[in-house]
Amino acid sequence: MSTSAAPSVLFVCVHNAGRSQMGSAFLTRLGGDRVQVRSAGSAPADAVNPAVVEAMREVGIDISAETPKVLTVEAVQSSDVVITMGCGDACPYFPGKRYLDWKLDDPAGQGVAAVRPIRDEIERRIRRLLAELGIEAAA
């Protein structure tokens, strides 16, 4: 576990432009300062998917200023929980961490209508994760 009292969660997908950004945004919103949140990608895109930005805006979360980040060994080593998001073999594995693999449809190239169900499923999973971590979700 991390040295701070708050657990640390890292979301990983290939491009860090869709699923991992939504996961990070929901956990930040619902977990507040009771959890440390990171997201990264093994091959980051140039920008966050615009349909993802719009879908998150619909639920009151603005991720328009976020940028995809490269996955580093340090990010994994400083995380208690690593959540891979349907990226298959492109996501690295490091021993000693709690891993969850959330198989989710890829929003890349999809419109907002296709992103909404992915967004909603990510929110449901974030709420379950918070409960598992013993953290009450913010209203």
C-alpha–C-alpha distance, residues 92 and 81, integer Å = 14
Active site residue 129: no
Question: Computed over its alpha carbons, how large is the radius of gyration of the chain?
Answer: 14
Distance CA 15, CA 46 (A): 9
Give the active site residue among 10, 13, 25, 40: 13
CB 38 within 8 A of CB 9: yes
**12 in helix, strand or coil?**
strand
Asked if 114 is an active-site residue, the reply is no
Q: How many CA atoms lie within 13 A of 137 on its CB side?
A: 15
Q: Would residue 123 show up in a list of annotated catalytic residues for this protein? A: no
Q: Which of 51, 61, 87, 129 is labelled catalytic?
A: 87
Which residue out of 27, 35, 91, 122 is catalytically annotated? 91
Q: Known catalytic residues? A: 13, 87, 91
